[in-house]
Amino acid sequence: MSERRSSESGFPINGVYTEADLPEDLDTRLGSPGEFPYTRGVYPTMYTSRPWTMRQYAGFGTATESNARYHQLLRAGTMGLSVAFDLPTQMGYDSDEPIAHGEVGKVGVAIDSIEDMRLLFADIPLDKVSTSMTINAPGSVLLLLYQLVAEENGVPGSALNGTIQNDILKEYIARGTYIFPPKPSLRLVADTFAYCRKEVPKWNTISISGYHMAEAGATPVQEIAFTLANGVEYVRAALAAGLAVDDFAPRLSFFFVARTTLLEEVAKFRAARRIWARLMRDDFGAKDPKSMMLRFHTQTAGVQLTAQQPEVNLVRVAVQGLGAVLGGTQSLHTNSFDEAIALPTEKAARLALRTQQVLAYETDLTATVDPFAGSYVVEAMTAEIEAAAVELMERVADHGSAVDAIEAGFQKREIEQSAYRIAQEIDSGERVVVGLNRFTVDEEEPYEPLRVDPTIEAAQADRLARLRSERDADAVTRALADLRAAAEGSDNVLYPMKEALRARATVGEVCGTLREVWGLYRPTDRF
DSSP string over 354-393: HHHHHHHHTSSGGGSS-TTTT-HHHHHHHHHHHHHHHHHH
Q: State the Cα–Cα distance between residues 92 and 509, nearest whole angstrom.
A: 8
Q: State the Cα–Cα distance between residues 410 and 406, nearest whole angstrom.
A: 6
Residue 77: CB atoms within 10 Å:
15
CATH code of the domain made up of 37-428? 3.20.20.240
Confidence of residue 454 (pLDDT cuts 50, 70, 90): confident
54-68, 318-332, 512-526, range with greatest mean pLDDT: 318-332
* pLDDT at residue 61, as a whole number: 75
Strand partners, 207: 253
- The more confident residue out of 365 and 57 is 365
* pLDDT at residue 73, as a whole number: 86
| Residues 273-276: contacts with CB under 8 Å, at least 24 apart | 273/37, 273/38, 273/39, 273/41, 273/42, 273/328, 274/29, 274/37, 274/38, 274/39, 274/382, 274/386, 275/224, 275/228, 275/386, 275/389, 275/390, 275/393, 276/228, 276/231
Length reported for the chain: 527
Strand partners, 56: 81
The full DSSP string for 21-53 is: GS-TTHHHHH--TTSTT-TT-SSSSGGGTSPPE
**Best CA proximity match to 9, nearest among 413, 382, 370, 409:** 382
Distances (CA, A) of 253 to 42, 293, 295, 440, 467: 12, 9, 5, 40, 36
Q: Has residue 35 got a pLDDT over 50?
A: yes
Reduce the DSSP state of residue 287 to 3 states and report it.
coil
Strand order in the sheet with 53-58: 203-204, 161-164, 130-134, 80-84, 53-58, 331-333, 296-300, 252-258, 206-209
Strands 5-6 and 12-13: antiparallel
* pLDDT at residue 4, as a whole number: 54
Q: pLDDT (tens digit, 9 = 90+) per residue, 122-171?
A: 999 999 999 999 999 999 999 999 999 999 999 999 999 999 999 999 99
Confidence of residue 82 (pLDDT cuts 50, 70, 90): confident
Q: pLDDT (tens digit, 9 = 90+) per residue, 233-255?
A: 999 999 999 999 999 999 999 99
Q: Has residue 452 got a pLDDT over 80?
A: no
* pLDDT at residue 312, as a whole number: 97
Q: Name the least confident of 253-267, 271-285, 332-346, 468-482.
A: 332-346
Q: pLDDT (tens digit, 9 = 90+) per residue, 259-304?
A: 999 999 999 999 999 999 999 999 999 999 999 999 999 999 999 9
Q: pLDDT (tens digit, 9 = 90+) per residue, 372-421?
A: 999 999 999 999 999 999 999 999 999 999 999 998 999 999 999 999 99
* pLDDT at residue 344, as a whole number: 83
* pLDDT at residue 76, as a whole number: 87
Reduce the DSSP state of residue 104 to 3 states and report it.
coil
Establish how many alpha carbons lie within 13 A of residue 501's alpha carbon, considering only the half-sphere containing its beta carbon.
29
297 phi/psi in degrees, rounded to 5: -100, 150
Domain ranges in the chain with CATH number 3.20.20.240: 37-428
* pLDDT at residue 1, as a whole number: 37
Burial class (CB in 10 A: 0-12, 13-18, 19+), 158: exposed
pLDDT, averaged across the chain: 94
Mean pLDDT, residues 211-231: 97
What percentage of the chain has pLDDT greater than the value 70? 97
